[in-house]
Structure 1
Amino acid sequence: MLVVAAIFGLVRLADAWGTLGHETVAWIAQSYVSPATKEAVQVILDSSQSDYMANVSTWADSYRYTDGGGWSAPLHYIDANDNPPESCSVDFNRDCGDEGCSVSAIVNYTSILLDDESKASVKRDAMRFIIHFIGDLHQPLHDEAIDVGGNTINVTYDGDDTNLHHIWDTELVEQLADGQDAEEFAKNLTAAIRAGAYGWDSSTWLTGASLNDTKASAMTWAHEANAYVCSDVLAAGVDAVEEGDLSGSYYKAHFDVVRVQLARAGFRLGAWLNLIYTGQAGD
């Protein structure tokens, strides 16, 4: 039992979306915040840098490796105890553990940012967590319990042995970016959002988003991401992804999920921060 627990702890330390993904989400969000929101966020982060959100977007992953940050590991995901690919569902009462989850974290840290009495240091951590956890929530395997969120599903990608969770965090994103850094990748995705490319309709992406019920808002996004586990991530079952090299036909079949989820995460992060600081989702 101790060995199993140790393995579980290690695999759940895998970075969500990877550095490129999280920085891309943050850069997109920076394109959508209002001037007032930008000023508020920069004050909280004590930063005047052009990448003021992007440069803290992976802080939460680094923090949980520290001696004092291990408690935050469960906040990076919500473990849907469903049955993909036959059925996908996520339920807060069933799936958010006693130590918390991504949804409860978004609720908590949003409330801290809304509280004028919160200390500056507490608000800084809350901001860094929000920037990261809204990104996490959009990676489908961060809304799934099967095989520890895909961490124990062994796969091959571009000739390398890895696991399913890792390729959704990193390899699929990097192949999609095709050499672009996060800022450039984000600029192209932001342009696609504004142009309505790929059939995207961003006017629907904030449906149900409200500070009056932050848990329901976050759960809407979790349901959406979790559904992709059945329709795309594990559509053909676990055995199918453990065969062959996934950088070919698997990538071609599912890269659009990565693209739209990165775009939605950045768009929603910007809108969420606007709601907190201006009361309006738009920039």
Structure 2
Amino acid sequence: MIRIPASSNNKMLLSAATAASLLLPGVQAWGAMGHETVAYVATDFVAAGTCTYFQNLMADASANYLASVASWADPYGHTEAGKFSSGFHYIDAQDSPPSSCGVDFARDCGEGGCIVSAISNYTNRLLDADLDSSERQMAAKFVIHFLGDIGQPLHNENLEKGGNGIPVDYSGEETNLHHVWDSEIPESVSGGSSLTSARSWAANLTMAIKSGIYESQAAGWVSDLSLADAQNITLGWATESNAYVCSTVLEGGVSAVEDQDLGGDYTTRGQPVVSLQIAKQGYRLAKWLDAIASAV
């Protein structure tokens, strides 16, 4: 397992998708609203003791204690102090969508680390009683963010820099495929990009998990959850997300989306995937934090 410090001046090998993110500072996985929604779903499902533990750790007794830090890792990665972490938001699957999708840790993670190794590493740091609270707080912010990131299909794909290199239109505006999945499709479901939109969408997803369309699925999302096997568990989640690159994101290949306006039928097909992935990762985040709080 790669042990990555809370901060470092060491040069890291950047993945193709990460390099693109550095050139496109406006790109954030799921966008801030999507990350906040993941966090609010998690807030609805964590145990009472978990809530208390993380509110104390984050020095935030409000209901926003997870959502307020959920997108922190994106701007942090663009700072001098945080640039070491810019490669941790992705794993670059060297597959061949739409004919073949799949993630292989040895092939795809890279020497500088990736989202799978980062979740494992920062989970271990959260469990390390020898670290001071500021280091464990930083680890918590990374874990909260990366468990959201791993649900975005194009954060588990190398092709065209994780879709950043595929120009598309959205309702007449020029953008790229990665950004459409980060922001435009999620916002088309939630109705906006604000914190209020995130809260409202999270409430709907929570209801769907408790008594709606996801009720029968939720237990299966966390059936194999184990902090002791964090790398393999999260690799499975990455593989699961990556499969949507073949089935939905690039179902018709690059030529089917490149320079096309994706604001119509394409968005309609993508909305159920985005909603499922946000709900799933919010629920998983809750149970992951529960496991951490129970172990410390």
**TM-score normalised by length of structure 1:** 0.93
The change in CA–CA distance for 1:154 and 1:111 in structure 2 (over 3 A counts) is same
User: Equivalents in 2 of 1:90, 1:115: separation in Å?
Assistant: 29
Does the 8 Å contact 2:170/2:262 carry over to 1? yes
User: Equivalents in 2 of 1:256, 1:53: separation in Å?
Assistant: 24
The change in CA–CA distance for 1:234 and 1:44 in structure 2 (over 3 A counts) is same
Which of 231, 237, 261 in structure 2 is aligned with 1:245? 261
In the alignment, structure 1 residue 226 sits paired with structure 2 residue 242: yes
Aligned length: 276
Deviation at 1:207, TM superposition (A): 2.6
Aligned to 1:99: 112
Which of 115, 125, 137 in structure 1 is aligned with 2:138? 125
- Which stretch has the larger CA shift, 141-150 or 44-53? 44-53
Structure 2: stretches of 5+ with no match in the other structure:
1-15
Does the 8 Å contact 1:80/1:90 carry over to 2? yes
Aligned to 2:45: 32
User: Equivalents in 1 of 2:151, 2:246: separation in Å?
Assistant: 15
Does the 8 Å contact 1:13/1:73 carry over to 2? no
Aligned to 1:137: 150
Which of 163, 167, 172 in structure 2 is aligned with 1:159? 172
- Deviations for 1:146-195, whole angstroms, at most 9, x for unmatched residues? 00000010001111100000010000000011246111110111101111
Which of 83, 92, 110 in structure 2 is aligned with 1:79? 92
Aligned to 2:8: none
Deviation at 1:199, TM superposition (A): 7.5
Percent same amino acid at aligned positions? 46
User: Equivalents in 1 of 2:47, 2:215: separation in Å?
Assistant: 26
Aligned to 1:47: 60
Greater fraction helix = 1
- Deviations for 1:73-117, whole angstroms, at most 9, x for unmatched residues? 100010001000010000111111111100001000100111121
Does the 8 Å contact 1:196/1:202 carry over to 2? no
The change in CA–CA distance for 1:204 and 1:6 in structure 2 (over 3 A counts) is closer
Aligned to 2:288: 272
The change in CA–CA distance for 1:64 and 1:19 in structure 2 (over 3 A counts) is same
Aligned to 2:4: none
Which of 55, 60, 66 in structure 1 is aligned with 2:79? 66
Does the 8 Å contact 2:88/2:113 carry over to 1? yes
Does the 8 Å contact 1:45/1:52 carry over to 2? yes
Does the 8 Å contact 2:22/2:78 carry over to 1? no
Does the 8 Å contact 2:190/2:200 carry over to 1? no
The change in CA–CA distance for 1:181 and 1:71 in structure 2 (over 3 A counts) is same
SS at match of 1:161: strand
Structure 1: stretches of 5+ with no match in the other structure:
none
**TM-score normalised by length of structure 2:** 0.89
Does the 8 Å contact 1:28/1:186 carry over to 2? yes
